[in-house]
């Protein structure tokens, strides 16, 4: 089952531990939004996206794939389930 995890809070270690355990069972992806864009997330074999509007608002840059609000809406429909942390 494909799962999109939307992380909104900085340094949410519970979500990262849960995503690591889920990644062994299926396809997982992470979307960093709001203050979570500050996070230095390191998850092997998990695709990480970051909301470009939140990066712009905070005037920071990230190496992860940036997505717009339209892209986020598309991502939600592409995954079987979405979990918001």
Query: What average pLDDT does range 58-76 have in this prediction?
Result: 94
pTM: 0.87
Task: Identify the structural domains of the chain with CATH numbers, from first to last.
Answer: 3-84 (3.40.1260.10)
Query: What average pLDDT does range 38-61 have in this prediction?
Result: 90
Instruction: Convert the pLDDT of each residue in 3-32 to its tens digit.
Output: 999 999 987 788 878 887 776 667 889 999
pLDDT of 56 over the 90 cut: yes
The CA–CA distances, whole Å, from 85 to 26, 36, 46, 59, 61 equal 19, 10, 16, 23, 22
The per-residue pLDDT for 65 is 92
């Amino acid at each position: 089952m494909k799962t999109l995890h939307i992380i909104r809070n900085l340094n949410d270690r519970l979500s990262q531990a849960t995503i690591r355990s889920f990644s062994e069972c299926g396809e997982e992806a992470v979307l960093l939004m709001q203050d979570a864009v500050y996070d230095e997330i390191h998850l092997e074999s998990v695709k990480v996206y970051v909301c470009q509007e939140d990066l712009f608002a905070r005037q920071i840059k990230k190496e992860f794939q940036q997505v717009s609000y339209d892209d986020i809406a598309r991502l939600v429909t592409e995954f079987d389930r979405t979990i918001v942390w």
